């Protein structure tokens, strides 16, 4: 259905939000009040969607997230199926809070563990949860011992922009391969915390200079909106792209192709869990009608 409407034939990666539920309530979380909602994929539905995406769109990798994927009861089953039966690369994006027992269980089928951190020590804990910084570092340490590759994500805010470099240095001690920096978008909980927005955008230029001068071994990937002028305009081919990088499924089955539309209820496509197929439900505010651009990432 996506191909018929948009011409897109290939999607490289599926981001699958297994559930909204989370053991955190971060100040910047784009889910906002949905963190309290009970919607979730069953293991069977999750496996059916992953299979459909692989068979119809050539998806090569699945990233499991939430909410918090490690509170999802059937995580091991979904990971094992995606890896062993479908042959996909499997990543998990987690807050890393007390995940040790379950991480040991799924490690043999996991290609990459990506942990979210929002700064050093109390800076992180203020945005996320008391004790979450140490717990996330413990998860990274265990992943290294288990031979699981690791990455990290950070959403750059007014509170942590001065701690990007110290965090990158810390991550190097844990052999983390990549740190991905996101731009805060005022949706969900972040809409209620305007104090987190970086208002002086010249700070982004200083951050980039600092990162470039630092000669880090951890690769730093930057959302190009973290710049004074915002992301560059990207020319899409006439008729739209034939291949896209990613699609994200929320726990209800809503499918979003542009990262900038995630969390905004701006989707044109849904995965019908019962019928096991994708349906087109266009609206005046969907991401196709509004031509919402995707996030552009680059090297710092």
Decide if residue 24 touches ligand SF4 (CB under 6 A).
Answer: yes
- C-alpha atoms less than 13 angstroms from C-alpha of 93 in its C-beta half-sphere: 21
Options 2, 11, 22, 62; binder of ligand SF4; rule CB under 6 A: 22
Decide if residue 113 touches ligand SF4 (CB under 6 A).
Answer: no
Is omega for the bond preceding 67 within 30 degrees of 0, making it cis? yes
Beta pairing partners, 151: 114, 178
Options 14, 50, 68, 184; binder of ligand SF4; rule CB under 6 A: 68
Decide if residue 96 touches ligand SF4 (CB under 6 A).
Answer: no
Options 95, 123, 135, 150; binder of ligand SF4; rule CB under 6 A: 95
Q: Radius of gyration (Cα) for the chain, nearest Å? A: 19
Burial class (CB in 10 A: 0-12, 13-18, 19+), 32: middle
The nearer residue to ligand SF4, 24 or 297, going by C-beta atoms, is 24
User: Min. distance of Cβ 94 from ligand SF4 in angstroms?
Assistant: 8
Beta pairing partners, 16: 64, 249
Beta pairing partners, 112: 91, 149
Tokens of 103: 């991480």
Number of residues that bind ligand SF4 (CB under 6 A): 12
Stretch that binds ligand SF4, among 49-57, 66-74, 168-176, 251-259 (CB under 6 A): 66-74
The nearer residue to ligand SF4, 79 or 187, going by C-beta atoms, is 187
Alpha-carbon gap, residue 99 to 107, rounded angstroms: 11
- Sign of the four-CA dihedral 113, 59, 247, 278: negative
The nearer residue to ligand SF4, 66 or 119, going by C-beta atoms, is 66
Options 19, 29, 40, 78; binder of ligand SF4; rule CB under 6 A: 29
């Amino acid at each position: 259905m996506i191909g018929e409407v948009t011409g897109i034939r290939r999607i490289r990666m599926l981001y699958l939000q297994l559930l909204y539920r989370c053991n955190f309530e971060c100040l910047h979380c784009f889910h906002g009040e949905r963190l309290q909602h009970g919607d979730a994929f069953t293991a069977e539905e999750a496996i059916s969607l992953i299979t459909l995406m692989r068979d119809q769109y050539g998806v090569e990798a699945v990233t499991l997230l939430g909410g918090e994927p490690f509170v999802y009861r059937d995580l091991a089953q979904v990971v094992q199926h995606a890896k062993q039966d479908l042959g996909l690369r499997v990543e998990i994006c987690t807050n890393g809070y007390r995940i040790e027992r379950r991480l040991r269980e799924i490690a043999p089928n996991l290609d990459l563990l990506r942990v979210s951190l929002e700064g050093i020590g109390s800076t992180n804990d203020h945005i996320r949860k008391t004790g979450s910084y140490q717990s996330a570092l413990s998860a990274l340490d265990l992943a290294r011992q288990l031979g699981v590759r690791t990455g990290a994500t950070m959403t750059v805010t007014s509170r942590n922009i001065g701690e990007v470099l110290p965090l990158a240095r810390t991550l190097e001690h844990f052999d983390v391969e990549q740190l991905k920096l996101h731009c805060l978008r005022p949706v969900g909980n972040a809409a209620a915390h305007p104090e987190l927005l970086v208002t002086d955008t010249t700070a982004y230029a200083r951050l980039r200079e600092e990162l470039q001068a630092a000669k880090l071994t951890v690769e730093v990937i930057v959302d190009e909106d973290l710049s004074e002028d915002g992301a560059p305009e990207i020319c899409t081919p006439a008729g739209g792209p034939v291949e896209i990088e990613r699609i994200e499924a929320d726990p209800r089955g809503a499918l979003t192709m542009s990262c900038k539309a995630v969390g905004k209820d701006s989707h044109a496509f849904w995965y019908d869990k019962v019928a096991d197929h994708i349906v087109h439900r266009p609206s005046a505010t969907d991401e196709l009608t509004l031509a919402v651009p995707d996030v552009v990432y680059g090297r710092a």
